[in-house]
Amino acid sequence: MSVFRGDDKINIFNCLHEFEEMAEPCNWTDIQKIIYAKRLLRGSAEKFVNYG
């Protein structure tokens, strides 16, 4: 899984699809998905999530 910065031209939908493809076979709970997804955020994407 790759990090998502929100500053570059990487499509968020592609990142989410890649993330879900990893989460599904691992049987992650919704809480686990949130924890792991937040750890993959960098830059303005991380600031946006941590602000709220």
Span 8-29, pLDDT tens digits: 888 899 999 999 999 999 999 9
Indicate the domain borders of the chain: 12-51
Q: For residue 10, what pLDDT is reported?
A: 87
What is the Cα–Cα distance from 1 to 21, expressed in whole angstroms? 10
pTM over the 0.85 mark: no
pLDDT at 45 over 70: yes
What is the Cα–Cα distance from 21 to 47, expressed in whole angstroms? 25
